[in-house]
Structure 1
Amino acid sequence: MKLDQLKVLRAVVDTGSVKAAAESLNRTQPAVSQALKALEFQTGTELFDRTGYRLELTPVGRRVYLQSLRVLSEAEDLTQLIQHFEKGQEETITIAIDAATDLDVVTPVLAKVQARFPDTRLVLRGEVLSGAIGAVQSGEAALALAPAIHVMLEEGGFDYRPVARSAMRNVAAPSLLDAMDAPGTLADLRRFHQVIARDSGQASGLFDRELGVQKGQRRWYVNDLHMKKQLLVAGLGWGRLPEHMIAEELAQDALREIVLPHTHLSFGIEVFVFRQRKPAIGPVAAYLWNAFEECSL
């Protein structure tokens, strides 16, 4: 049984006649008829009822036809995949995404890539703090999106572009704020647990210390910001989260911002897309980079 015979079967069913199928396939009627006869010989039964004006599938013919559609679909997918690699397009691309990055910045670009390069697998690798930088430096990720500062990216030797701005806010559940009894200084927070997201990378440089954590502070550690938010909403601690992640909780009074006189607990962040300078990249990674350039600030 050959793929060509299955294509003929599909064309005859779709058009309803050998003549119309021959025209759609740009073949002669005898060639189409011969392909059908060969297929029926191999299956050992007639696939069409030829007594009427229009060819109709027999019960066996319908089962063969439905199965042939699956076979042809897989064969066409395989052909497309081979063409994909022949063009030098990457099999897999990894993007490191810091947990503080608003995915609404990322998803429009990913949608473009999915539509244009459906056979390239994208791996979205969640990171915290220095993890995104480490993933790009090691070559484990083609590019990354993460909050950073210009000097840090310059010193790391990255190509970079700003893509979004946000803010990090220190928050706690109303019940915990009531227990804090109007704190006036950072020292007043020490006896309440601070929930801290653990660095997913090999912390160094600016990351080689616990930013925003005072000495003597009671603390719990988590591996991701969603777990951190759950603990904060439950009143089990206080901590800093990106504002896009807690907008709904702030609006519903499930979380409140911690405000201390003369102390700035909140701060703005700038999210960058970055990659190694002058990388050896394929067409999909290049398209990704250019797509992020279109939405850069």
Structure 2
Amino acid sequence: MLSDDELALLEAIRESGSLSRAAARLGKAPSTISHAARQLEERFDALLFDRRRYRLQLTPAGQLLAQESTRLALDVSRLSQRVRQVASGWEDRLWIVTDEIIEFESLLPVIAAFDALESGVPLRVTHEVLKGTWEALRDGRADIVVGATNEPPAIQGLRWFELGVMDWVFAVSPRHPLAEAKEPLVRDLVTGHRAVVVADTSRGTEGSAYGIHGGQATLAVPTMHAKILAQRDGLGVGWLPRQRIASLLQRGELVEKNTADPREPNLLYVAWRGDHEGRALDWWLEQLKQPRLAKRLVQGLDTFVR
């Protein structure tokens, strides 16, 4: 690896094209720069400078040395920063996994506030669905999960708190046959129509889906937003978060139907492993305990408002 002076020498020669101008740029005598250049070539046993032309240039070997040395210097600088970061209690990185039902847009102000701390901790935010969210924590693909549903499973060292309660509504397109059906809708009637579900991302189990009855046809989609769109367009039926479709219900683009088997509200959880500690994790947990943020995450955004 090159010293800072050697890197500066290569850069000065590359940009100025002469030993004299490089010397002036570095505030040194031309003879000193010429001697340093030859020492560098002897050290690597390679021709690093092309002296045959009027303009002094780096040879391909010299260009490679300059590029790789700069990259290595940056890597060392980053490593030094990360070592200091971890030594002061910050993690090397923080991996946040949200259940897909939590909208990423709701987290943007929190990420901005975290950036303002200048901790140096890189964030990775991904999402899973249903059992896949808990699996991510169990398998080490998450440092913290946000919005996980169902009861917390048996995971060694698991710690959690309740984020909030999500309310659901059974909704269909006004063009769907169930829109005019007599209420409450009985199970046999609902089962005769295709349900729209957000596909469970569990890797180790068959996965699960809410409100699906045995033998019922399904349309699996990747996101809750896609599920809302599919049901709005009459491609199936199912349960949707009430707050996120409020404007669609108000405009009549979706119709709420009472069912004989109502769905209970869902508790959403924030969870982490107790053996994984750090200042970034602690900061995020404190933010997620704030009632205003928790409410925003659970209720979501009605993106269909006009």
With the shorter chain as reference, the TM-score category is 0.5 to 0.7
Partner of 2:80: 83
Q: 1:144–1:275: 8 Å Cα contact kept in structure 2?
A: yes
Deviations 1:116-169 (A, max 9, x none): 466747262x322233233324544211011548xx45998523363x776544
Instruction: Give the whole-Å Cα distance in 1 for the aligned partners of 2:249 and 2:30.
Output: 70
Q: 2:102–2:147: 8 Å Cα contact kept in structure 1?
A: yes
Offset, 1:114 = 6.7
Partner of 2:144: 143
TM-score (ref. length: structure 1): 0.64
Higher mean displacement: 136-145 or 258-267: 258-267
Does the alignment pair 1:171 with 2:159? no
Partner of 1:237: 236
Instruction: Give the whole-Å Cα distance in 2 for the aligned partners of 1:209 and 1:30.
Output: 76
Question: Equivalent residues in 2 for 1:273-288 (5 A)?
Answer: 273-276=270-273, 278-288=274-284
SS in structure 2 at match of 1:6: helix
Offset, 1:80 = 3.0
Partner of 2:257: 260
What is the aligned counterpart of 2:23 among 11, 14, 18?
Answer: 18
Instruction: Give the whole-Å Cα distance in 2 for the aligned partners of 1:154 and 1:235.
Output: 35
Q: Is the alpha carbon distance of 1:43 and 1:13 closer, same or farther for their aligned partners in structure 2, counting shifts above 3 Å?
A: closer
Question: Equivalent residues in 2 for 1:53-202 (5 A)?
Answer: 58=56, 60-61=57-58, 70-87=67-84, 88=86, 93-110=94-111, 116=118, 120=122, 122=124, 124=126, 126-148=127-149, 152=151, 158-160=159-161, 162=163, 167-176=167-176, 179-183=177-181, 184-187=183-186, 188-201=189-202
Instruction: Give the whole-Å Cα distance in 2 for the aligned partners of 1:155 and 1:128.
Output: 18
Partner of 2:304: none
Instruction: Give the whole-Å Cα distance in 2 for the aligned partners of 1:237 and 1:32.
Output: 76
SS in structure 2 at match of 1:97: strand
SS in structure 1 at match of 2:102: coil
Partner of 1:225: 223
SS in structure 2 at match of 1:86: helix
Deviations 1:76-115 (A, max 9, x none): 3311342255343655543322110011223344456678
Q: Is the alpha carbon distance of 1:165 and 1:107 closer, same or farther for their aligned partners in structure 2, counting shifts above 3 Å?
A: farther
Q: Is the alpha carbon distance of 1:70 and 1:231 closer, same or farther for their aligned partners in structure 2, counting shifts above 3 Å?
A: farther
Q: 2:197–2:220: 8 Å Cα contact kept in structure 1?
A: yes
Higher mean displacement: 223-232 or 95-104: 223-232
TM-score (ref. length: structure 2): 0.62
Instruction: Give the whole-Å Cα distance in 1 for the aligned partners of 2:195 and 2:222.
Output: 14
Partner of 1:53: none
Partner of 2:303: none
SS in structure 2 at match of 1:186: coil
Instruction: Give the whole-Å Cα distance in 2 for the aligned partners of 1:141 and 1:34.
Output: 54
Partner of 2:301: none
The one-letter code matched in structure 1 to 2:129 is V
Instruction: Give the whole-Å Cα distance in 1 for the aligned partners of 2:41 and 2:140.
Output: 55
Q: Percent identity?
A: 16
Deviations 1:12-49 (A, max 9, x none): 67796534424xxxx88865453345568832423996
**CA root-mean-square deviation:** 4.9
Instruction: Give the whole-Å Cα distance in 2 for the aligned partners of 1:110 and 1:73.
Output: 31
SS in structure 1 at match of 2:35: helix
Instruction: Give the whole-Å Cα distance in 2 for the aligned partners of 1:243 and 1:289.
Output: 26
Partner of 1:52: none
